[in-house]
């Protein structure tokens, strides 16, 4: 989960909700960017971060009872691989195209584990093989497959910046990444409070997206059970983001 602290309390966004926000951003992209299998691509973007929340499998509180952001997780390689295998398996059950894009993303996320763990190396090599097989299966080039994945990587990063409230103030810009069409994209807040991306990569000159978040005023919890109960029984609110060229 994504945990952001403010004077109001703890702002919590499920990673699946972050994925949905990424999908909304993807839907706003220029129509020319859409792949032949657009819905399959969109599903990969929306669901790339699903199957994360599991109170039986993961620890969501620090030793002091404070909710942990996903970047603070101290997760073993075995658990990372277990989750990665689950994500690929679920994606394959829907669409091989979706699974191929998810596989690209897992390699991006966990490629650094290749030399740290024999199991990780085996898993990542199996994904290399799978992607090559899918590229042949769909009769496309490596470049075309990677271009489709670039859409996921852009939308994922843009969504994460919004969820974590990382856009700097004072009209400063923040790099999103180098992705779609091999261009480097930047995000900033304009004087009128609207969000702009440069170069502009969206179909409309302005649009709005939103994500659900839960605001918890309680800063710490006795145990996971208490945290889970309060989190699940607290009303959610909507955070909206207005984009403008």
pLDDT digits (tens, 9 = 90+) for 170-199: 999 999 999 999 999 999 999 999 999 999
Whole-angstrom CA distances from 146 to 35, 40, 86, 93, 149 are 11, 15, 22, 22, 5
From CA 65, how far away is CA 68, in angstroms rounded? 9
Domain ranges of the chain: 2-244
Convert the pLDDT of each residue in 153-174 to its tens digit. 999 999 999 999 999 999 999 9
H or E element, residue 3 = strand 2-6
pLDDT tens digits along 216-227 = 999 999 999 999
| CA 187/CA 176 separation, integer angstroms | 6
Digitized pLDDT (tens) for each residue of the chain, 245 residues in all: 999 999 999 999 999 999 999 999 999 999 999 998 999 999 999 998 776 667 777 789 999 999 999 888 777 888 889 889 999 999 999 999 999 999 999 999 999 999 888 999 999 999 999 999 999 999 999 999 999 999 999 999 999 999 999 999 999 999 999 999 999 999 999 999 999 999 999 999 999 999 999 999 999 999 999 999 999 999 999 999 999 99
Tokens at 28, concatenated: 């706003």
d(CA 116, CA 99): 25
């Amino acid at each position: 989960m994504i945990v952001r602290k403010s004077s109001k309390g703890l702002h919590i966004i499920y990673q699946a909700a972050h994925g949905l926000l990424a999908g909304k951003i993807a839907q706003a992209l220029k129509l020319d960017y859409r792949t032949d299998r657009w819905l399959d691509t969109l599903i990969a973007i929306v669901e790339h971060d699903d199957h994360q929340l599991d109170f039986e499998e993961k620890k969501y509180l620090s030793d002091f009872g404070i909710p942990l952001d996903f970047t603070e997780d101290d997760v073993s390689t075995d658990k990372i691989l277990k989750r990665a295998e689950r994500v690929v398996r679920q994606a394959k059950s829907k669409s091989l195209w979706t699974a191929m894009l998810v596989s690209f993303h897992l390699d991006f996320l966990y490629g650094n584990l290749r030399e740290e763990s024999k199991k990780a190396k085996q898993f990542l090599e199996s994904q290399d093989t799978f992607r090559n097989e899918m590229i042949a299966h769909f009769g496309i080039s490596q470049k075309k497959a990677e271009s489709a994945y670039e859409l996921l990587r852009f939308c994922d990063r843009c969504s994460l910046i919004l969820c974590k409230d990382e856009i700097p103030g004072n009209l400063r810009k923040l790099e999103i990444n180098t992705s779609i069409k091999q261009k480097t994209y930047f995000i900033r807040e304009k004087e009128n409070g609207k969000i702009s991306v440069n170069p502009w990569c969206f179909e409309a000159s302005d649009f709005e997206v939103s994500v659900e978040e839960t605001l918890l005023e309680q800063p710490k919890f006795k145990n996971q059970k208490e945290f889970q109960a309060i989190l699940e029984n607290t009303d959610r609110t909507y955070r909206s983001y207005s984009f403008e060229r």
